[in-house]
Amino acid sequence: MKQIALVGSPNCGKTTLFNVLTKSNQRTGNWAGVTVEQKIGEFKLDGQAVELIDLPGVHMLTDCPLSIDAKITNDYLKSSEPDAILLVLDATQLRRQAELIPQIMATGQPVVIALNMMDALADHGLELNTTELKALLGDRLIEISAAKGTGIAALNKALGNALASQPLPQDDAGAVDCSCNPLPHEPLSHSGLLAAIDRATTFTGEPTLTERIDRWLLHPALAIPSFLLVMYLLFMISVQFGAIFIDFFDIWLGSWVVEGLRWVLSSLQAPAWLIAFVADGIGAGVQLIATFIPVIGALYLCMSWLEDSGYLARAAFVIDGVMSRIGLPGQAFIPLIVGFGCNVPSVMAARSLNSISARLTTIFIAPFMSCSARLSVYVFVGSAFFPEHAGLAIFSLYLLGIIVAVGSAWLLRKTLFGRFHEPSILEMPSYRRPVWRNVFTQAGHRLHSFMMRAGKRIMLVVIVLSCLGAVKTDGSWGAPGSPDSALAWIGKKLTPVLTPIGIGEDNWQATLGLFSGLFAKEVMVGTIQTLYTNEDESGDLTSTEMPDFMGDLGLAFGSVADNGKALFGIEPEAEPDAELNLIANSPIANLFPSAWAAFCFLAFVLLYAPCVATLGAMQREAGSGWLRFSLAWSLMLSYWIASNLWQLSHLFEQPLFASLWFVLSSAVLALFYSLIVKRVRDKHLGEIQVVNLT
Amino acid sequence: MTLDQLNLRQSARVVAVNSDSNVLRSHCAQLGIAPGAPIEVLHRAVGRGPMQAKIQGALYAIRQEDAAAIEVTV
């Protein structure tokens, strides 16, 4: 199949054109070795199928590209030989982007130039007379508006002609042409082109639409309030609205996949280990991944909309001053605020950052944001131990997370990334009405990529933990989560290690809760409650009856309605009270030595490790080395913080031991950190491409 | 004078980019922040924040320390 490469500056409307040409005929992947999305689409030219490959945006072709994106495009144009190149230029930024014309023509391939955004010239206070440019560039110059869909037929015709022509050999690149186009009399020179563009352009002197909007949105008194409003809406719509549908997937797939598989397998007399593997491993893995769809999907939709509108760059502008103090660009704020909803999209959103050190730092600190699943644990434990001060306790935990994130970012900058000065000159694209096709395709691609890639790793961990939870220490297989499972055995062995943070020696349930918190933080509540309340029961929860498929589907749809009502405050949720009574009567209260110990436990829950979904996303975005570093750091730091908080309450009883603990644990923490950083610097930093550009 | 000293809405032209950093110099060159280019500061963010500058019709957010490396003349 013939291949056409799509080239253009960032924000020139390249993606819109890509979507217009290929419709939904697209597939995505990654460029070899980097986490930059590769998009290939297919469309028909004169009845013949051709492939369109979307190259990342570049300002110009140089030998020293400044971002992964630019490097990919440079390398591609140097090494691959597409049958034709479609160069997209923003008519409102023509003078600045004109440099690409001679550079792309010099590749020797047939070139078609799409002059995009012809409809937006007036909004930019410009008039453009293309007669002379057409004379200079020939038939290959086509005026279009990708957003409005005008000029596409002419563009297709020009592309067809370009493909039918023969490329010139490379060494003749000076006299660029192809048989279908009239040859310009003199070879195309950059200065001649610029002069022609200057003659063609008339400034009407009106302030542009974008400048007029910026007068309000970047106004010193209004910038921060409007920023906060947009962030609040982003958070509310994506997290709160998306959360309405979580229970739907949870109930529906829990019944149709997990229970359904269990029923099918047990009616087939399958062995217990197979049931544990298939139903509680694979089935529960599918269920867990699916519960992330609503929040992540809603978030990606909102983000794509904001990105397409041009506001995202303004948000980065407003918060840049604060972020620069911890060595991050302003854009890093968005992944972090998203982290309060869910850490997974937070890690995924870090890929929008161009500089690799900013990307790694953001991925490193994103898990310290208290996600909404952790909130459910805070509420559960908090209202059992300090019902009067639950609000204050939860607020302090959020604050602790932010302080740890800021501190870790600062530490990384001091020890690892300090020597890389990364200039932060960010282009602020013009405001545009978002094109819905772009928004949905973009969000769809990102969601798909999350499900396929992070999903695999989530599945693997769920299978391992489920099997450990189902196999008993005597080798037989039982119900998941029983007190004599291998997982419970590990929990009991590990509990003594956790006594310094205030977990009682017999409180193995809390340790096991930490394990199940690895699946998903909200699972902790269920696990802890089941373990404490059903301690004496035989734990034979495995039902082998056929689940009520239709009834559960009805329940699933009902949950959407209920959650929707709760969101708009029509019907306050009444359930938490019932849960609280359960805890008050359960032995949980005896197992933590004091309320302060429960707080230390919560601090540990906040920091020790993110859930498997986040770990999967981190590995995918930053690689295993960085994941190990980040995980080791959060484990050590959480232990250090929780144990010292616990020792703090003994400062007056055992001043010597408490202060000795503080000094020694801090020394160990510092030692381990410096060892790990040294290792990361020696072994892994060299593998990171963009850092080497400096 | 340098870009960070320019008043709001004051038109100027870029004279040179004076920086030890190759990255900053080539970044500027690729974005069209080159000698002779017309430049105007439109907004400043509060505190230590960046400025919004219009260069050859395009809008950029530039941090103070980077702006200090860009020499301009009114």
pLDDT, position A522: 72
CATH of B3-73, one of 3.30.30.10, 2.30.30.90, 3.40.1260.10, 3.30.70.3280: 2.30.30.90
Residue A6 structural domain: 2-203
Question: Cβ B27–A66 below 8 Å, yes or no?
Answer: yes
Residue A485 is classified by DSSP as B
pLDDT, position A574: 46
A291 is in an annotated binding site: no
Tokens representing A672 are 């381990």
A117 is in an annotated binding site: yes
Nearest residue on chain A to B19, alpha-carbon basis? A423
Interface test with A, best of B9, B17, B18, B31 (most A CBs within 10 A): B31
Is the model's pLDDT at A690 over the cut of 50?
no
In chain B, domain spans = 3-73
Question: Cβ A321–B48 below 8 Å, yes or no?
Answer: yes
CA distance A616 to A621: 9
Tokens representing A527 are 């696990």
For chain A, what is the mean pLDDT? Answer: 81
* A257 lies in the same domain as A138: no
CA distance A472 to A480: 10
- Identify which has the larger pLDDT, A510 or A218: A218
Q: Is residue A281, in this structure, part of any structural domain at all?
A: yes
What lies within 8 Å, CB to CB, of A29 at 6+ separation is: A37, A38, A40
**Helix, strand or coil for residue A86?**
strand
Tokens representing A688 are 């990171």
Torsion of CA A549, A553, A555, A558, to 10 degrees: -170
Question: Cβ A423–B30 below 8 Å, yes or no?
Answer: no
* A176 lies in the same domain as A304: no
Q: Is residue A83, in this structure, part of any structural domain at all?
A: yes
Residues of B whose CB is below 8 A from A219: 43
Q: Which of A198-212, A376-390, A464-478 has the highest mean pLDDT?
A: A198-212
Tokens representing A213 are 């909007």
A9 is in an annotated binding site: yes
A379: how many CB neighbours lie within 10 A of its CB?
18
pLDDT band at A538 (very low <50, low <70, confident <90, very high): very low
Q: Is residue A208, in this structure, part of any structural domain at all?
A: no
Question: Cβ A423–B27 below 8 Å, yes or no?
Answer: yes
* A237 lies in the same domain as A192: no
- Identify which has the larger pLDDT, A539 or A371: A371
Q: How many angstroms from the chain centroid is the CA of residue A158?
A: 38
Compute CA distances A474 → A466, A481, A509, whole Å.
17, 15, 20
CA distance A266 to A284: 17
CA distance A552 to A251: 7
Residues of A whose CB is below 8 A from B23: 66, 421-423, 693-694
Residues of B whose CB is below 8 A from A425: 24, 27-28, 31, 33, 60-63, 66
* A246 lies in the same domain as A195: no
Residues of A whose CB is below 8 A from B57: 92-93, 95-96, 124, 126
Pairing type for strands A425-427 and A141-143 reads unpaired
Question: Cβ B30–A428 below 8 Å, yes or no?
Answer: no
Question: Cβ A330–B28 below 8 Å, yes or no?
Answer: no
pLDDT band at A586 (very low <50, low <70, confident <90, very high): low
* A240 lies in the same domain as A126: no
* A287 lies in the same domain as A342: yes
Question: Cβ B61–A330 below 8 Å, yes or no?
Answer: yes
pLDDT, position A308: 86
pLDDT band at A570 (very low <50, low <70, confident <90, very high): low
Question: Cβ A428–B27 below 8 Å, yes or no?
Answer: no
Q: Nearest CB to A317: which of B21, B45, B58?
A: B45
Q: What is the helix, strand, coil percentage profile of chain A, to 5?
A: 65, 10, 25
Is the model's pLDDT at A171 over the cut of 50?
no
Strand partners, B52: B43, B61
> What's the mean pLDDT in A235-248?
80
Q: Which of A123-132, A660-669, B28-37, B46-55 has the highest mean pLDDT?
A: A660-669
Nearest residue on chain A to B24, alpha-carbon basis? A423
Q: Is residue A227, in this structure, part of any structural domain at all?
A: no
* A464 lies in the same domain as A608: yes
Nearest residue on chain B to A216, alpha-carbon basis? B43
Q: Which of A368-372, A639-643, B64-68 has the highest mean pLDDT?
A: A639-643
* A386 lies in the same domain as A240: yes
Residues of B whose CB is below 8 A from A126: 57
Å from B36 to nearest chain A CA? 13
What lies within 8 Å, CB to CB, of A129 at 6+ separation is: A200, A201, A202
Q: Nearest CB to A96: which of B57, B62, B66?
A: B57
pLDDT tens per residue across span A295-349: 778 878 888 888 889 898 898 898 888 888 888 888 888 788 878 877 888 888 7
| A205–chain B Cβ distance below 8 A for any pair | no
- CB contacts under 8 A, A 374-393 vs B, are none
Interface test with B, best of A90, A92, A319, A425 (most B CBs within 10 A): A425
Rg (CA), chain B: 11
pLDDT band at A685 (very low <50, low <70, confident <90, very high): low
* A269 lies in the same domain as A198: no
Question: Cβ B26–A64 below 8 Å, yes or no?
Answer: yes
Lowest mean pLDDT across A152-161, A259-268, A458-467, B51-60: A458-467
Could you tell me which of A652, A646, A559 has the C-alpha nearest to residue A598?
A: A646
ipTM of this complex: 0.93
Å from B16 to nearest chain A CA? 16
A34 is in an annotated binding site: yes
Could you tell me which of A197, A208, A199, A201 has the C-alpha nearest to residue A122?
A: A208
> Which of A184, A203, A222 is the last residue in one of the domains?
A203
Lowest mean pLDDT across A367-371, A489-493, A514-518, A585-589: A585-589
Strand partners, B54: B40, B59
| A40–chain B Cβ distance below 8 A for any pair | no
Nearest residue on chain B to A212, alpha-carbon basis? B42
Question: Cβ B62–A425 below 8 Å, yes or no?
Answer: yes
Q: Nearest CB to B30: which of A62, A424, A430?
A: A62
Q: Is residue A64, in this structure, part of any structural domain at all?
A: yes
This prediction has a pTM of 0.78
* A123 lies in the same domain as A84: yes
What lies within 8 Å, CB to CB, of A553 at 6+ separation is: A252, A255, A256
What is the number of domains present in chain A? 2
pLDDT band at A90 (very low <50, low <70, confident <90, very high): very high
CA distance A378 to A393: 8
| A428–chain B Cβ distance below 8 A for any pair | yes
Question: Cβ B43–A214 below 8 Å, yes or no?
Answer: yes
* A349 lies in the same domain as A407: yes
Is the model's pLDDT at A595 over the cut of 60?
yes
| A73–chain B Cβ distance below 8 A for any pair | no
A14 is in an annotated binding site: yes
A423 is in an annotated binding site: no
CA distance A184 to A170: 18
Å from A689 to nearest chain B CA? 14
Q: What are phi and psi of A400, to 5 degrees?
A: -60, -45
Interface test with A, best of B30, B48, B51 (most A CBs within 10 A): B30
Residues of A whose CB is below 8 A from B45: 218, 223, 317-318, 320-321
Q: Where are the beta strands (DSSP E) in A145-302?
A: 201-203
Is the model's pLDDT at A691 over the cut of 50?
no
Say which residue the tokens 């439109």 belong to: B42
Q: Is residue A692, in this structure, part of any structural domain at all?
A: no
Is the model's pLDDT at A531 over the cut of 80?
no
Residues of B whose CB is below 8 A from A430: 59
Percentage of chain A lying above the pLDDT 70 cut: 85
Q: Nearest CB to B23: which of A211, A330, A693?
A: A693
* A169 lies in the same domain as A284: no
Nearest residue on chain A to B31, alpha-carbon basis? A59
